[in-house]
Amino acid sequence: MTDLFIGVVSHDGSRFALNQGENGLAFTLARALDVSGVSCEVAVNTHNNWTPELLDITSGVAVASARASLAFEQAWQRYLDEETPSPFFTRSRKYSEFRVRRWALGLKSRRKSFGVSSIASVRRLANIELSHVDLWQKGVASGARWVLILEDDGGCADIDDLAGGLKGLLTSTSSSASADPFSAATDFIGEGGIGRRYVNISASFESHQLGVDYLLSSTPLTWSGAVNRDIQATSRPITNTVCAILYNAELL
């Protein structure tokens, strides 16, 4: 049985095409893990699975998407300001910037070129999401107990550290250890009684930038790689990355 399925989200013409091949991050990591006794299977998705039947992306949909994204960003900023209040003038400047961005978006949305470029952007986002779904399904079908999804722009400065740390996460056992370490890894119970199912491997954003520090708690787990790292847990599924997420197959 495969221990770990590694899926790579990419597309034809990607600037990070190197990560699609044998010298890319996924295959290099798989080789390092194989040496340490963790069997891996790698799949790369470069297909565009979006079709108009799934979602008819018109210029109106594209503009609505851009407006919704900006509105969500502003709502999140308000939430962060409530949790960690900033000086009045700082808040005023931020909200003035949002007003300017809404005004600029209104002007741009009247241009024909904006509709064309926005439709292309929404299609790309849809294809990224569909690529994740495709790789999740392949990961489950592989029979692997864990599925690691990497986006092709992800990078790693120390493969050995990453491989060692991942092996530790996959094989660490709880007090109720079983004969199968890969099974026992799912038995770890953190604060709130939530089993380990979803792990952020990289950090596109620091937790304090997202305002989620209060959700994090320490764990008895240690990072088995060469670099000293803290492993924290949360009872809620949050993420600070889009580049590298590890899923337990039971979650998928």
pLDDT of residue 136: 95
pLDDT of residue 20: 95
- Gap between the terminal Cα atoms of the chain: 18
The pTM score is 0.79
For 200, the enclosing helix (H) or strand (E) is strand 198-200
Handedness of CA 233, 244, 3, 35 (dihedral sign): negative
pLDDT of residue 32: 96
Q: Based on C-alpha coordinates, what's the Rg of the chain?
A: 21
- Integer Cα distance of 167 and 36 in angstroms: 8
Angle at 123 between CA 12 and CA 101, to 5 degrees: 120
- Integer Cα distance of 64 and 18 in angstroms: 35
Cα–Cα distances in angstroms (integers) from residue 46 to residues 80, 124, 129, 139, in the given order: 36, 12, 12, 16
Residue 146 is encoded by which pair of tokens?
Answer: 């864990």
Mean pLDDT by 10 residues, the chain (252 residues): 93 93 96 95 95 88 88 85 73 84 81 76 91 96 94 92 91 47 38 59 80 82 85 76 84 83
pLDDT of residue 1: 76
DSSP letters spanning 221-246:
----SSS----EE-SS---S-SSEEE
